[in-house]
């Protein structure tokens, strides 16, 4: 079901409305990635000064020079890690629009979905983002204890959290907050697997730019697949 949901998402890329949301989502994803990267460099600057060690990049002696000549390369490398919070932030901005485009094409028999108030959507996203960041900070201990398994821990943990977030926001439009929680508990394993399969390409630089929007569409299909497309 997960793969069929993704294939349905890919088949809709030719849809003008869906393509517009996809390109807009990519543009915003890039903007958010740049903002997160800038905040990360600022944090390094004030905590360790001009000398820092960046995962997969190595020792950086002059952060000011880094910003001027190689920031694009470093940002692309760091997107392996930074795209996880970016993907989380994208959900509140685009999931409703993406889900509506998916439902208009594949589930036109359904009644109109209930729009989640913007304030509630932002609150949910901030809560999820806080949990995501907290979990990733704590996971550093596990990475240090089990270096060979670090990537799998990263995928599994972030896949679980992102899967739960994307599925909840897709389901809440149709069955409300409590209904979404009930479905999330009932289909936890499927959601976790789907989230992990989403987290894996998030680790691929450049490819990861399209994953937040494609993920939103895929989880919309997964929700309808689990509920039989009846609500």
- Name the band, by pLDDT with cuts 50, 70 and 90, for residue 107: very high
pLDDT at 90: 82
Statement: residue 167 has pLDDT above 80: yes
pLDDT at 193: 96
Helix (H) / strand (E) containing 125: helix 118-145
3-state secondary structure 181-199: HHHHHHCHHHHHHHHHHHH
Name the residue ranges covered by the structural domains of the chain: 2-29+80-227
Statement: residue 126 has pLDDT above 80: yes
Per-residue pLDDT, averaged over 12-38, amounts to 84
pLDDT > 90 fraction of the chain, expressed in percent and rounded:
38
What does the alpha-carbon distance between residue 129 and residue 148 come to, in Å, rounded to a whole number? 27
Helix (H) / strand (E) containing 58: strand 58-60
CA 49 from chain centre, in angstroms, equals 31
Cα-Cα-Cα-Cα torsion 218, 219, 225, 231, nearest 10 degrees, comes to -120
Q: Which two tokens stand for residue 172?
A: 């809440």
What does the alpha-carbon distance between residue 182 and residue 227 come to, in Å, rounded to a whole number? 12
What does the alpha-carbon distance between residue 171 and residue 188 come to, in Å, rounded to a whole number? 13
Instruction: Centre a 10 Å sphere on the Cβ of residue 128 and count the other Cβ atoms it contains.
Output: 22
In order of 101, 205, 211, the CA distances from 23 in angstroms are 14, 17, 12
pLDDT at 71: 66
Q: Which two tokens stand for residue 115?
A: 């729009």
Statement: residue 185 has pLDDT above 90: yes
| Structure confidence by residue, pLDDT tens digits, 42-101 | 776 666 655 555 554 555 555 554 555 566 676 777 777 778 888 888 877 788 889 999
Q: Which of 103, 91, 101, 90 is nearest to 15 (CA)?
A: 101
| Structure confidence by residue, pLDDT tens digits, 191-218 | 999 999 999 998 888 888 899 999 999 9
In order of 16, 45, 94, 144, 210, the CA distances from 201 in angstroms are 25, 30, 19, 23, 10
pTM: 0.83
């Amino acid at each position: 079901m997960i793969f069929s949901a993704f294939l349905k998402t890919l088949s809709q890329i030719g849809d003008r409305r869906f393509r517009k949301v996809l390109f807009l989502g990519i543009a915003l994803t890039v903007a958010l990635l740049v903002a997160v990267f800038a905040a990360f460099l600022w944090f390094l600057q004030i905590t360790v000064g001009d000398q820092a060690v960046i995962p997969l990049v190595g020792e950086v002696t002059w952060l000011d020079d880094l910003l001027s000549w190689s920031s694009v390369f470093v940002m692309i490398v760091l997107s392996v890690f930074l795209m996880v919070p970016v993907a989380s932030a994208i959900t509140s901005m685009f999931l409703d629009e993406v889900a509506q485009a998916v439902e208009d094409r594949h589930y036109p028999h359904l009644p109109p979905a209930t729009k989640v108030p913007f304030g509630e959507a932002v609150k949910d996203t901030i809560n999820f983002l806080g949990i995501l960041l907290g979990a990733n900070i704590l996971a550093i201990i596990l990475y240090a204890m089990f270096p060979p398994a670090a990537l799998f821990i990263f995928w599994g943990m972030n896949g679980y959290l992102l899967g739960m977030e994307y599925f909840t926001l897709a389901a809440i439009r149709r069955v409300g907050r409590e209904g979404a929680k009930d479905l999330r508990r009932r289909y936890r394993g499927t959601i976790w697997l789907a989230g992990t399969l989403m987290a894996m390409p998030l680790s691929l630089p450049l490819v990861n730019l399209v994953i937040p929007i494609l993920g939103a569409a895929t989880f919309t299909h997964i929700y309808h697949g689990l509920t039989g497309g009846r609500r």
